[in-house]
Structure 1
Amino acid sequence: MGKGRGPALAAWLTLPLGLILLVGSLLSVRSAYTAVTVSGGSMEPTYGVGRPLVVQQLDGDD
């Protein structure tokens, strides 16, 4: 192996792994959280009508 090829090879191996981890984490967050908008006044004064919220989806066991 020539001088300097080790770091270049490590970069080429690390880049796809980093992209896979990034896409996987984005998909995980996207499936666990949902953006909603408050449509009624039942949550006032804490949350006003039309305010956007991010909520976590839980099943009955959580």
Structure 2
Amino acid sequence: MSECPLCKEDNRCAIANGDKPETCWCMSVTMAQQLLENAASDKKTCICKTCVDNWNEKGRF
């Protein structure tokens, strides 16, 4: 499991699971720069779809 840096849930990252990058859900969504900055950490981890959707709908995660 790869962990979302914001909510700590499974981010369902295809790449972390050994699948091709183009199969990952994140390749078909837009992520706001501010959301990416909020998730910045030393780890290279993906934000989960739930946090991205919440940000896109409400402006917060």
Q: Provide the TM-score with structure 1 as the length reference.
A: 0.21
More strand by share: 1
More helix by share: 1
Q: Provide the TM-score with structure 2 as the length reference.
A: 0.21
Q: Which structure has the larger Rg over C-alpha atoms?
A: 1
